[in-house]
């Protein structure tokens, strides 16, 4: 979701379009009137009358044209107002019934991402497929000959497997528990990551800068944001921070002492990894308070922007960012 996809950027384009049209008409008419009716130009005697400088043509005028000068600008202003109000409604009061909820906590000096609902996702377009079942995980890499090894992690247990010459590999370990974190990462011979399958359980937390915030594409993300201090003392409410994703043109503040926190809504429509910055000075190590947000496709789906095909049951592919107190 680059900044040009956000509702504010789209609204800017619409306003700019109508502003250019109005400007062309207004200045075109202005310069025409200046050249045609300037002082010193002899009137056209073939006309019934002419326009005198500084005088309104009350003897002969076009009522319909004069009314249009009032009606058309009024319609345009009303239309632009509707566009602006509709954008505000989309940003500040979206339909969050089917949204993906996550908590973002800000500390000195890192972000913590707490998952309030599970997320299972897998890379697409790599020629690799990961499947679970019958007490084992199967990795199929028939369409990607560069696979050399893969790593399976369930909970705190990690096992590595070397690839043989077959096009599939079975890892004989217990099927993952949906209540535990699990991932399968596939590598080439040089240790470069080729493919990731991951299950993030409810209650899992990731911390920056080493771990990204992972969110699904084509879904409204409803993030509750709170500033927190060290320890469990409620009086340590933290300091002011700001969650900023520059490529999305999206920023929202963490307000210390605000019990309900602030809320940030956004809908990413293309997969990828985007940098996060703290845009509010929050102490001596403010400059190192960075992170990443990773947009992924849920298992068995693809992102609309990446595939060009809208998957069934998905919502609007328009993206926006905004927040509320």
Angle at 124 between CA 120 and CA 126, to 5 degrees: 130
Q: Is the whole-model pTM more than 0.85?
A: no
- H, E, C per residue of 144-186: CCCEEEEEEEECCEEEEEECCCCCEEEECCCCCCCCCCEEEEE
3-class secondary structure, 51: coil
Q: Over the stretch 174-218, which tens digit does the pLDDT of each residue have?
A: 667 788 899 999 999 898 999 999 999 999 999 999 999 999 998
Over the chain (325 residues), what is each successive 10-residue block's mean pLDDT? 58 85 89 77 57 62 79 88 76 75 93 95 90 80 85 87 69 72 91 93 94 93 89 68 88 88 86 93 93 93 60 34 41
Q: Which residue's entry shows tokens 């309900």? A: 260
101 neighbors 115 (Cβ within 8 angstroms): no
What is the per-residue pLDDT for 325?
38
Q: Name the CATH topology of 97-117+202-325.
A: Immunoglobulin-like (2.60.40)
Angstrom distance (rounded) from CA 244 to CA 235: 26
pLDDT value at position 81?
86
| Burial class for 144, CB neighbours closer than 10 Å (0-12, 13-18, 19+) | middle
- Give the Cα separation of 154 and 230 in Å (integer): 30
pLDDT of residue 44: 58
Thinking of the domain 118-201, which architecture would CATH place it in?
Sandwich (2.60)
């Amino acid at each position: 979701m680059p900044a040009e996809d956000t509702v504010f950027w789209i609204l800017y384009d619409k306003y700019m379009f109508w502003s250019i049209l109005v400007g062309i008409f207004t200045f075109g008419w202005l310069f025409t009137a200046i050249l045609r009716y300037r002082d010193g130009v002899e009137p056209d005697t073939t006309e019934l009358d002419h326009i005198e400088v500084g005088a309104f043509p009350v003897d002969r005028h076009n009522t319909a044209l004069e009314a249009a000068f009032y009606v058309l600008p009024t319609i345009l202003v009303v239309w632009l107002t509707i566009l602006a109000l509709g954008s505000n409604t989309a940003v500040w009061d979206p339909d969050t019934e089917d949204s993906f909820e996550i908590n973002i906590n800000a500390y000195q000096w890192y972000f913590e991402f707490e998952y309030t609902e599970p997320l299972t996702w897998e890379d697409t377009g790599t020629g690799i497929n990961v499947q679970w079942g019958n007490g084992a995980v199967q990795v199929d890499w028939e369409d990607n000959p560069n696979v050399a090894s893969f790593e399976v992690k369930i909970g705190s247990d990690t096992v590595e497997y070397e690839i043989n010459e077959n096009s599939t590999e079975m890892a004989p370990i217990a099927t993952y528990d949906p209540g535990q974190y699990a991932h399968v990462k596939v590598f080439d011979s040089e240790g470069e990551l080729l493919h990731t399958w991951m299950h993030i359980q409810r209650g899992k937390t990731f911390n920056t800068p080493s771990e990204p915030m992972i969110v699904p594409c084509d879904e409204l993300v409803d993030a509750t944001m709170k500033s927190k201090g060290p320890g469990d003392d409620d009086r340590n409410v933290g300091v002011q921070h700001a969650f900023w994703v520059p490529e999305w043109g999206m920023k929202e503040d963490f307000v210390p002492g605000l019990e309900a926190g602030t809320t940030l809504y956004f809908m990413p429509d293309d997969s990828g990894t985007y940098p996060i910055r703290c845009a509010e000075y929050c102490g001596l190590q403010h400059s190192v308070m960075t992170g990443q947000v990773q947009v992924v496709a849920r298992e068995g789906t693809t992102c609309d922007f990446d595939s060009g095909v809208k998957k069934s049951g998905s919502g609007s592919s328009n993206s926006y960012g905004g927040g509320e107190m």
